[in-house]
């Protein structure tokens, strides 16, 4: 029986109407989902193929979820793979998936709280486990962190008020930082510290981050501008980190627009995803943090020249860890190793305070940036 006449048949299956154009291929919905899903599958393959020793539990992976587009799509993709794998007899055990949500309203007062999202997520993704924490939970999970904040913020921060709750303590600290770049930088450091500490407490062996290609490009450019270039080997590259955990970025081959098309294919994602507030063009450039500035740049230029942005990310992924000497001292704020190489940064050698800062954290302090 002759098939239905198609106006624009899918270039892969030729059985359905093409609805998406990706990398010069016109694909139907199913083939599109398979195509982008495969890009993530390749990046998580070694996790899926893990076999645990007899009698031991599966290894655990942490997925930090902001309920933005990218991390929600990553959750959906990884979960779909996990479910498919568990339905097959004799398949390797793979991994257990833990999801950590940091309450966005605890990071920015302009973000609404997540409300019912946690229950909804647990219903939709029953094989994964979910935890929600506020950003100030970092003080509980990383007890030394409270002590370093006065060192970072300097005079403007009243450190001695013991009556403050963790939330008030964090609010007071952030209120003392007037520079947008310092505030965004320290927020991202605190978010990473909280996520890493949570992953360790829950014995996860790795963290998978939902950064798309363009986000990674923006992160690369911003890190270099902020003096955090040496952390690119783990901030945007797949592999081991100074924290003793693996970081992976399975969405590194996909652009935001491609993730949006994927999300549009699944009704169960639409009420989970909280769209990012667009960066208004009316905000003066001087009022943007370096991170926002780079994101704006990459979003506008990436749409015109996607290849250039992929190049930034691909190049950063090939970087090797710094060979600068270190005596093993860690930065009290960001927990990375402090380099002692002469002429690069040697203040740490003369600094005997218990809360030493690395070059990037010291440079990012308000008043200096
Ligand atoms: Zn097709
Ligand atoms: Zn640091």
- The 3 state secondary structure assigned to the chain is CCCCCCCCECCCCCCCECCEEECCEEECHHHHHHHHHHHHHHHHHHHHCCCCCCCCCCEEEEEEECCCHHHHHHHHHHHHHHHHHHCCCCCCCCEEEEEEEECHHHHCCCCCCCCCHHHHHHHHCCCCEEEEECCCHHHHHCCCHHHHHHHHHHHHCCCCCCCCCHHHHHHHHHHCCCCHHHHHHHHHHHHHHHHHHHHHHCCEEEEECCCCHHHHHHHHHHHHHCCCHHHHHHHCCCEECCCCCEEECCCCCCCHHHHHHHHHCCHHHHCCCCCCCCCCCCCCHHHCCHHHHHHHHHHHHHHHCHHHHHHHHHHHHCCCCCCCCCCCCECCCCCCECCCCCCCCCHHHHCCCCCCCCHHHHHCCCCCC
Closest CA to 109 of 48, 175, 37, 56: 175
How many angstroms separate the CA atoms of 79 and 65, rounded?
A: 13
**165 neighbors 137 (Cβ within 8 angstroms):** no
pLDDT of amino acid 343? 38
Domains along the sequence of the chain with CATH: 55-321 (3.40.50.620), 324-364 (no CATH)
pLDDT of amino acid 16? 95
Task: Compute how many other C-beta atoms are within 10 angstroms of the C-beta atom of residue 181.
Answer: 20
How many angstroms separate the CA atoms of 158 and 172, rounded?
A: 8
Closest CA to 315 of 228, 231, 239, 236: 236
Q: How far is the CA of 32 from the centre of ligand 1 (A)?
A: 7
For residue 337, the ligand closest to its alpha carbon is 2
Q: pLDDT by residue for the chain (369 residues), tens digit each?
A: 455 688 899 999 999 999 999 989 999 999 999 999 999 999 988 887 777 777 777 889 999 999 999 999 999 999 999 999 889 888 888 899 999 999 988 887 777 777 788 999 999 999 999 999 999 999 999 988 888 887 788 766 766 667 788 888 888 888 888 888 888 888 989 999 999 999 999 999 999 999 998 889 888 888 888 888 778 888 888 999 989 999 999 999 999 999 999 999 999 998 889 877 666 666 666 667 888 888 888 877 777 777 777 787 788 777 766 656 667 788 999 998 887 644 344 444 445 455 688 888 888 887 654
pLDDT of amino acid 6? 85
For residue 30, the ligand closest to its alpha carbon is 1
Q: How far is the CA of 336 from the centre of ligand 2 (A)?
A: 6
Give how far Cα 8 sits from Cα of 29, 55, 57, 60, Å.
13, 53, 49, 44
The torsion angle over the Cα atoms of residues 270, 271, 273 and 279, rounded to 10 degrees, is 90
Residue bearing tokens 């190489």: 341
How many angstroms separate the CA atoms of 188 and 174, rounded?
A: 12
Backbone angles phi, psi at 86, to 5 degrees: -70, -15
Q: How far is the CA of 360 from the centre of ligand 2 (A)?
A: 6
Q: How far is the CA of 363 from the centre of ligand 1 (A)?
A: 52
How many angstroms separate the CA atoms of 247 and 231, rounded?
A: 12
CA neighbours within 13 Å on the CB side: how many for 137? 19
**68 neighbors 255 (Cβ within 8 angstroms):** no
pLDDT of amino acid 349? 46
β-sheet bridge partners, residue 60:
96, 204
The torsion angle over the Cα atoms of residues 158, 164, 165 and 171, rounded to 10 degrees, is -40
pLDDT of amino acid 328? 76
For residue 31, the ligand closest to its alpha carbon is 1
For residue 358, the ligand closest to its alpha carbon is 2
Closest CA to 292 of 302, 281, 303: 281
Q: How far is the CA of 358 from the centre of ligand 2 (A)?
A: 4
Q: How far is the CA of 356 from the centre of ligand 2 (A)?
A: 8
């Amino acid at each position: 029986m002759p098939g239905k006449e198609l106006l624009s048949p899918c270039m892969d299956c030729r059985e359905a109407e093409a609805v998406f154009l990706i990398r010069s291929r016109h694909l139907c919905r199913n083939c599109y989902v398979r195509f982008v899903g495969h890009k993530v599958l390749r990046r998580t393959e070694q996790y899926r193929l893990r076999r645990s020793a007899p009698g031991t539990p599966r290894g655990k992976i942490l997925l930090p979820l902001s309920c933005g587009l990218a991390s929600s799509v990553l959750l959906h993709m990884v979960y779909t793979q996990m479910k498919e794998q568990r339905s097959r007899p004799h398949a390797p055990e793979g991994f257990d998936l833990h999801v950590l949500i940091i309450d966005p309203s605890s990071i920015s007062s302009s973000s609404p709280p997540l409300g019912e999202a946690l229950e909804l997520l647990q219903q939709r993704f029953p094989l994964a486990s979910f935890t929600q924490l506020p950003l100030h939970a970092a003080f509980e999970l990383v007890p030394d962190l409270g002590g370093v904040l006065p060192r970072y913020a300097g005079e403007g921060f009243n450190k001695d008020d013991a009556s403050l709750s963790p939330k008030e303590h964090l609010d007071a600290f952030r209120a003392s930082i007037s520079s947008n770049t310092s505030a965004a930088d320290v927020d991202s450091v605190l978010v990473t510290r909280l996520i890493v500490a949570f992953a360790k407490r829950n014995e996860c062996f790795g963290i998978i981050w939902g950064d798309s290609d363009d986000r990674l490009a923006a992160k690369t450019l911003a890190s270099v501008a902020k003096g955090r270039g040496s952390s690119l080997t783990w901030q945007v590259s797949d592999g081991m980190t100074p924290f003793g955990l693996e970081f992976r970025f399975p969405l590194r081959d996909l652009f935001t627009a491609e993730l949006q098309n994927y999300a549009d294919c699944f009704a169960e994602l639409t009420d989970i995803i909280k769209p990012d507030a667009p960066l208004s063009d009316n905000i003066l450039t001087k009022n943007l943090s370096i991170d926002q500035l780079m994101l704006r740049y990459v979003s506008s230029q990436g749409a015109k020249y996607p290849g250039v942005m992929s190049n930034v990310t691909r190049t950063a992924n090939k970087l090797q860890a710094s060979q600068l000497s270190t005596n093993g001292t860690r930065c009290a704020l960001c927990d990375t190793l402090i380099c002692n190489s002469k002429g690069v940064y040697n203040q740490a050698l003369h600094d005997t305070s218990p809360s030493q800062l690395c070059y990037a954290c010291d440079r990012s302090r308000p008043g200096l940036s």
